[in-house]
Structure 1
Amino acid sequence: MKKAPSPAGRKRRRAVPFAVKSERLSPLLSISYRWFVRMAAAGLIGLALLIVLLLYLRTQALPVASISQTSEMLDLQGNVIDTFHTGENRRSVSLADISPYAVQATLAIEDRRFYDHNGFDLRGVARAALVNLEHLSNKQGASTLTQQLARNLYLTHEKTWTRKLKEAVYTVQLEMKYSKDEILNLYMNQIYYGHGAYGIEAAADYYFGKPAKELTLAESAMLAGIPKGPKYYSPFLDMKNAKDRQRTILLAMAEQGMITREQADRAYAELLHFRKPGEDAEEGFAPYFRDYVRSVAIERLGIDERLLNEGGIRIYTTLDPVAQRAAEEAVNAGIPDKSEQQAALVAIDPRNGYIKAMVGGRDYQTNQYNRVFADSRQPGSSFKPILYLTALAEGGMTPVTRFKSEPTTFTYDEGRKTYKPRNFNDKYAHDYIDMRQAIASSDNIYAVNTIMSVGPEKVIGTARKLGIDSPMQPVPSLALGTFPVSPFEMASAFGTLAAGGKHAEPVAILRIEDRKGNILYEAEPKVEQVVDAAHAYVLTSLMESVFDNGGTGYRVSAAIKRPVAGKTGTTATDAWLVGYTPELATAVWVGYDKGRTITPTEAHRAAPIFASFMEKALEAVPPKLFPMPDGVVSVYIDPASGKLADATCPEKRLETFVRGTEPTETCGGHETGGDTPDAGGQDTAPAAERRRSWLDQLRRWWRD
């Protein structure tokens, strides 16, 4: 039986193993210590390298992101009438101009910890991994908004390690260079919402026809769900998926305390009013004008076409939407649907040259040719006011200058050539007529007599002053409008008459701004007094007779409830009415593109289009008299002789003259059956003359 060891022995025997163990652990502790030191050193080196890398990245510029912006064209009232983009419809707005609901919905579903992380959300990665593991799928992603922005701005969506590494680098740089709000703003303007709409502003307009700042909670939740998969969550492609996604987002917002559960339920139940796919409030509106503005911006103003299509610029135009709609309606109603006859209308504000309306044809979808600028159309008698203005200003003629209206053969070119004009339907007065009668009835014999008296070179000179640049030859037929001009030129020229001899260069673009609001171009008004105001006023008074009884525009006079001056023009292939009020000068042309002969019925369509348009375009504008300038006088004359009327004249007419050109000789010698009232008594002139006399008296009252 073994003897039990003493306590001291036990102590000695235990001490030996501890010593052995200590010797054995020493190398291990030494190795652990060295490993720890090395790891700490490596950590410090890594940290230093990371700091150096971050400092380096901070000094490096991010790649230039080519972010196209949709450019806009606006009318005179600030309404968008056209947009320009190359595939990406994008209109950037500030964060303050985005509905808070849209921002919250985006954060709730895409990056709930956006304001708490530095570009990478490790908690989000872990949470997404758990969700995906639970559902055994890639149901939930973990990319932050900053990562998505880096990918969308600078990279493709290929799944490679190189792309992921670049994405991480760009994410860090974005977080260093921009504030959280700036990153969020960039994201909201960059993300794709399907159907060509990039950014929340374009999406709000495309789906709901409103700006992003007006989006409701329900609308915001609907839009926030689309970027995850536009093909699956667009309400225009799959409403069930879109509503399910909307519900998910609303619940996420409620879970995160952004809204209450009750708000979420109400928003989900709300009936949304979508804009129909492809619907545009102004689609097809003023297409010829829009094309014209684009060409002016690029060809005349030097705006780069890429800047126009991708630069997010804004073009402010002179188009009056009320006048434009009136123009389109008048043209559409003025010609039967089945007719192949074409039409053009252009209206210009004579006071500043603003192009208020433009219709270049009846069907833009079929034919984009803008007939407003067609320079192959003979204006016919609508050119005669330019002739008569020359006669008043430079030819020594007055409204009572008389020529005999009868078939006449004229010789010119030193007698080597002859010209024999005819009146329409060979209708002649076979008596002497004055300028007012000649304009009202559009007498061709009077017109050629006039051009032979004043000289065709002077007429061409007047046309140039009024803004007509088309080629012309100094021959007698010029008086009858045989040289082609465009409706645009005619409207501009007549606008000069309406403005009292002041020519305002036509303008369609008022201002162009870049995406930041910097002005790239601003129109400078170009208004010049090219014709004496008194002569322009006298001619305007004469042209009002066109709408009096017996005038070529009389049949539409009842439709025009305001003072208006104008002139008709008819050739074998073209029909015109060019006229004006103090606020608007308008040229209307009807005819065929291939110069086909028009019938009398077809020729009569220009005047109703003009009348309908002018009344609708100016419906909200009170009727105004043409302002009478200084240097104009009105006296009663004897229409038969052109002399001053006295008490013995059976007929008299109140006529307007440039001061100093009025007749001084009294007619006298008329047989009367009794006392004839003088100018201050009862007027016995025909109704049209009484109307003009009343207007002239009203003008004098207005001026005084």
Structure 2
Amino acid sequence: MQRLIRSGGKKPPRRKWLFFKLILSTGLLALFAMGILLLYLYQSDLPLADSDRNSQLLDQNGKSIAVFSSGERNRVSVALDEVSPLLIQATLAVEDRQFYDHVGFDIKGMARALFVNLQKMDKVQGASTLTQQLARNLYLSHERTWSRKIKEAMYTAQLEMKYSKDEILQMYLNEIYYGGGAYGIEAASQMYFGKSAKDLNLAESSILAGVPKGPTYYSPYNHMKNAKDRQKTVLSALVTTGGITQGQADEAYSEMLNFKSQKQRITADQAPYFRDYVRNVVVHELGFDEDLLEHGGLNIYTTLDMDAEEAAEAAIASELGGSPDLEAALVSIDPRNGHIKALVGGVNYAQSQYNHVFATTRQPGSSFKPIMYLSALSSGKMTSVSKFSSQPTLFHYDDNRKTYSPKNFGDKYLGDIDMRRAIAASDNIYAVNTILTVGAEQVIELGRKMGITSAMTPVPSLALGTSPVSPFEMASAFAVISNQGKRIKPVAVLKITDDQGHTLYEAPSPHEEKVVEPAAAYVLTHLLESVFETGGTGNRVSANILRPVAGKTGTTSTDAWLVGYTPELSTAVWVGYDKGKILGTTESRKAAPIFAKFTEKALEKVPPKIFPIPDGVVSLYIDPNTGMLATADCPDKQLEVFIQGTEPTEVCTEHGKGEGESVQPLPVNDKPESHSWWSDLKRWWME
């Protein structure tokens, strides 16, 4: 018996050994399962975030300026280095001080929150990290269920495994809701303060950092007292973490903040008319599914120049800001490659989303005349010195079965005039004589080649712009003249990639199509420059344009235009009323200053350039009264340019004894005796 007792005492109880093995096995199994789970989570893709599904529109520099979403979300993504460090510090101080030290879960914070909540017998303190908040906002609803919490934990772990801390913080700041439809710090900064997130100061940063906890309750628009109380909490957190001193906190709290008004916030979207145009191009021209555009996370790389776009919006606002119901449109195209640089379809997108840039119900008036004159010049039927008598005239056409009796503005008639004078003064009698000489069908054919797609009626009044066209068509057509007679189809979308960066579409290289000879385009440009010189219809804004520019005004009872160009931009400006209301004198003069202000601002960083002079252009001094080659006896000599082979050969005999020899023909690059300062620049450059 004693031996049995002794030997039994040496062996551990079987039950304890089994329990130990069970614990060990369970632990190993749990570790193995955890390892499998972590490996699975690491290799698995995160679900597509709702915010990522909103395709982005990017400008020519690759900066996101808008999203394609049918909802009311205002979202603009920015890089972390484009956010004020003060905002980042404030957000971390009040939301997640241990962000850079934990692995997605703040264990100490969770234990502390649990202890406080048990003490109070209520949920008075939470412990969600920024990563957990990001996972919840990106992939989950805010329902309080165990399944949602489990998914949140899984997505949190995946985010921490797949992204760096800076990447997670950047995603958080671009995703979090700040109230008023603003998602992300850039949209919020623009909405509340009208500035970029990188320019936020301490007072502004501490206000915004406090809003996400309760976007409605802490919104300064809804509850200023709550917002200021929350700001004090944020500033105190910054003091506690050593980010700022108490003195800096007090100063920031006392600062008077300049919030944007409700009206300003409504119009905060960037380039909304251009965005809508690109949507139409992507869906209807490029064939992308609209649902893919809405929720596919596409990146749409475009030609838009935000500096030019802002210049266009500012120019329109400065001229039409105090004119109720008066509308405007501006579109500007780079004639060298067809890139659409600016597109503003109306005065206020929030009030009207109708894009007037593509409205084909507007008569261009005299701004259509350059297309006709280009047809006359390129056909060789007329030159810049061709003369007609500007006087009341009854024209017969259609085999003399119909008549047409146009009038000049203000019933002002100039007698015998050449093409330069007719263009500068916008003489209607000369224009109708021209279209009857050239043929309306030939003018229409050229207009089609230049980009006019609207219907044009082959009648004499076509010369005066009675066939409606859109501003987009006019800018496209004038781009041909600027580009030495070559047409490049306008383009807005350069490339489309998916959410992984794979290219789904890339625009082909620009294709040039020769419409007219370069010499003909240059001769017309030389004539259109006179519109901005003394006696021209655009002369009153010439002092505001400090570079060579050519163009044409156009005015009807309901529409005002200025379509013009430099070597870099072809721009059409239209002003009028939607309901066909008659324009007053002041309103009819709005298009020209909009064009001038836009052109100078959009090109302020570009040195002035003269229009390049192609081969096949002849420059001669002529007598402006006779249109013949000038002699030394001619009291007035005007240097005019011609397409080689169409220049005058007869010598003026009306001055002196009529035996003088022609002034020696000049090379094309000699000085035109013109009233514009850029003509002097042209001479200096060529010499």
Q: Select the residue among 674, 678, 683 that pairs with 1:691.
A: 674
1:437 aligns to what?
A: 421
2:622 aligns to what?
A: 637
2:573 aligns to what?
A: 588
1:626 aligns to what?
A: 611
Code of the residue aligned with 1:68 in structure 2: it is S
Q: Counterpart of 1:636 in 2: which secondary structure? A: strand
Q: Select the residue among 576, 588, 599 that pairs with 2:561.
A: 576
Code of the residue aligned with 2:18 in structure 1: it is R
Q: Select the residue among 8, 21, 30 that pairs with 1:50.
A: 30
1:475 is the counterpart of 2:459: yes
Q: Select the residue among 333, 338, 342 that pairs with 1:353.
A: 338
1:271 is the counterpart of 2:252: yes
Code of the residue aligned with 1:536 in structure 2: it is A
Moved more, 143-152 or 538-547: 143-152
1:534 is the counterpart of 2:537: no
**Rounded Cα–Cα distance in structure 2 between residues aligned with 1:493 and 1:306:** 34
1:702 is the counterpart of 2:646: no
1:36 is the counterpart of 2:16: yes
Q: Is the 8 A contact 1:403 1:446 kept in 2?
A: yes
Moved more, 592-601 or 83-92: 83-92
Q: Is the 8 A contact 1:225 1:233 kept in 2?
A: yes
1:685 aligns to what?
A: none
Compared CA separation, residues 51 and 90, structure 1 to 2 (3 A) = farther
Compared CA separation, residues 241 and 583, structure 1 to 2 (3 A) = same
Q: Is the 8 A contact 1:193 1:223 kept in 2?
A: no
Q: Is the 8 A contact 2:206 2:231 kept in 1?
A: no
**Rounded Cα–Cα distance in structure 1 between residues aligned with 2:186 and 2:417:** 67
| Structure 1 residues 626-665: aligned runs within 5 Å | 626-665=611-650
2:476 aligns to what?
A: 492
**Rounded Cα–Cα distance in structure 2 between residues aligned with 1:463 and 1:676:** 43
Q: Shift in Å at residue 664 of structure 1? A: 1.3
Q: Is the 8 A contact 2:92 2:99 kept in 1?
A: no
**Rounded Cα–Cα distance in structure 2 between residues aligned with 1:577 and 1:477:** 19
**Rounded Cα–Cα distance in structure 1 between residues aligned with 2:409 and 2:174:** 66
Compared CA separation, residues 367 and 661, structure 1 to 2 (3 A) = same
| Structure 1 residues 374-413: aligned runs within 5 Å | 374-413=359-398
Give the paired residue count. 666
**Rounded Cα–Cα distance in structure 1 between residues aligned with 2:479 and 2:530:** 18
The C-alpha deviation readout for 1:216-236, integer Å capped at 9, x for no partner, is 999888877766665666777
Q: Select the residue among 53, 61, 68 that pairs with 2:51.
A: 68
Q: Is the 8 A contact 1:222 1:245 kept in 2?
A: no
Compared CA separation, residues 150 and 54, structure 1 to 2 (3 A) = farther
Root-mean-square deviation (CA, aligned residues, Å) is: 4.8
Q: Shift in Å at residue 145 of structure 1? A: 6.7
Code of the residue aligned with 2:234 in structure 1: it is Q
1:450 aligns to what?
A: 434
2:446 aligns to what?
A: 462
Moved more, 587-596 or 311-320: 311-320
Q: Counterpart of 1:484 in 2: which secondary structure? A: coil
Moved more, 571-580 or 197-206: 197-206
**Rounded Cα–Cα distance in structure 2 between residues aligned with 1:108 and 1:206:** 22
The C-alpha deviation readout for 1:451-494, integer Å capped at 9, x for no partner, is 22222222112112211111113333322222111122112211
Q: Select the residue among 519, 538, 558 that pairs with 1:553.
A: 538
Q: Shift in Å at residue 110 of structure 1? A: 4.7
Code of the residue aligned with 1:346 in structure 2: it is V
Q: Is the 8 A contact 1:513 1:520 kept in 2?
A: yes
Q: Is the 8 A contact 2:423 2:528 kept in 1?
A: yes
1:506 aligns to what?
A: 490
| Structure 1 residues 222-371: aligned runs within 5 Å | 237=223, 238-239=226-227, 241-243=229-231, 245-246=233-234, 249-250=237-238, 253=241, 265=246, 268-269=249-250, 271=252, 276=259, 283=268, 286-302=271-287, 304-306=289-291, 308-309=293-294, 313-334=298-319, 337-338=322-323, 340-371=325-356
Code of the residue aligned with 1:66 in structure 2: it is A
Compared CA separation, residues 307 and 220, structure 1 to 2 (3 A) = farther
Compared CA separation, residues 50 and 468, structure 1 to 2 (3 A) = same
Q: Counterpart of 1:452 in 2: which secondary structure? A: helix
Q: Is the 8 A contact 2:544 2:597 kept in 1?
A: yes
**Rounded Cα–Cα distance in structure 2 between residues aligned with 1:569 and 1:660:** 32
**Rounded Cα–Cα distance in structure 1 between residues aligned with 2:239 and 2:427:** 82
Same amino acid, percent of matched pairs: 51
Q: Counterpart of 2:573 in 1: which secondary structure? A: strand
The C-alpha deviation readout for 1:365-398, integer Å capped at 9, x for no partner, is 3323222222111222221211111111114322
Q: Shift in Å at residue 533 of structure 1? A: 0.9
Moved more, 59-68 or 376-385: 59-68
Code of the residue aligned with 1:666 in structure 2: it is V
| Structure 1 residues 44-123: aligned runs within 5 Å | 44-47=24-27, 49-50=29-30, 53-54=33-34, 57=37, 58-59=39-40, 61=44, 64-69=47-52, 72-76=56-60, 81-84=65-68, 86=71, 102=88, 106=92, 110=96, 112=98, 121=107
2:668 aligns to what?
A: none
Q: Counterpart of 2:621 in 1: which secondary structure? A: strand
**Rounded Cα–Cα distance in structure 1 between residues aligned with 2:602 and 2:198:** 33
Q: Is the 8 A contact 1:101 1:220 kept in 2?
A: yes
Q: Is the 8 A contact 2:364 2:561 kept in 1?
A: yes
Unaligned regions of 5+ residues in structure 2, if any?
666-670
**Rounded Cα–Cα distance in structure 2 between residues aligned with 1:172 and 1:354:** 43
Moved more, 110-119 or 287-296: 110-119
The C-alpha deviation readout for 1:534-558, integer Å capped at 9, x for no partner, is 1111111222233344433344444
**Rounded Cα–Cα distance in structure 2 between residues aligned with 1:108 and 1:592:** 52
**Rounded Cα–Cα distance in structure 1 between residues aligned with 2:193 and 2:421:** 60
Q: Shift in Å at residue 689 of structure 1? A: 8.5
Q: Shift in Å at residue 21 of structure 1? A: 13
Code of the residue aligned with 1:50 in structure 2: it is A
**Rounded Cα–Cα distance in structure 2 between residues aligned with 1:125 and 1:310:** 36
Code of the residue aligned with 2:685 in structure 1: it is W
Moved more, 325-334 or 432-441: 325-334
Q: Is the 8 A contact 2:562 2:574 kept in 1?
A: yes
Q: Is the 8 A contact 1:107 1:114 kept in 2?
A: no
| Structure 1 residues 178-197: aligned runs within 5 Å | 178=162, 181=165, 188=172, 192=176, 194-195=178-179
Higher Cα radius of gyration: 1
Q: Is the 8 A contact 1:355 1:508 kept in 2?
A: yes
